[in-house]
Amino acid sequence: MNENIQIENAKSWFVLAQITIILAGFFFAASGIMWSAATSNLNSGVNLATDLTNKDCNQLNNSYYKNFTSKALNYYGEATITNLKLFIDYTWIGVLLITLSLFFWIRGKYLLSKSKNN
């Protein structure tokens, strides 16, 4: 009876390892989405800045136009920085969860071998 309890205990560690791997996958997927959003924001900001170089000088001297474009460029810059920070955070959380799942798997393997030795 005691051997069955030890085997079930080892199985529970393997299940915990599987759950953390699944969670790590979600965080890696979210980090990929944040990377894609950051590059998209950066691309939009570059396109807006490129369009500014093609504008007529009279239009560039208009204070309303300057205010609008500076706010747009600031938005793209802030959104890019925010998405890159989230990308880094989600990637690190994914790495930590993978490391934790490795610990859970080693613990389950140890308990399984311990139950077989008894």
Which residues contact residue 93 at a Cβ distance below 8 angstroms, ignoring those fewer than 6 apart? 24, 27
pLDDT above 90 (res 94): yes
d(CA 38, CA 82): 8
pLDDT at position 67 = 77
pLDDT at position 57 = 59
The angle, 0 to 180 degrees and rounded to 10, between the axes of the packed helices 2-53 and 63-117 is 160
Span 36-74, pLDDT tens digits: 999 998 888 888 777 776 666 566 566 767 777 788 888
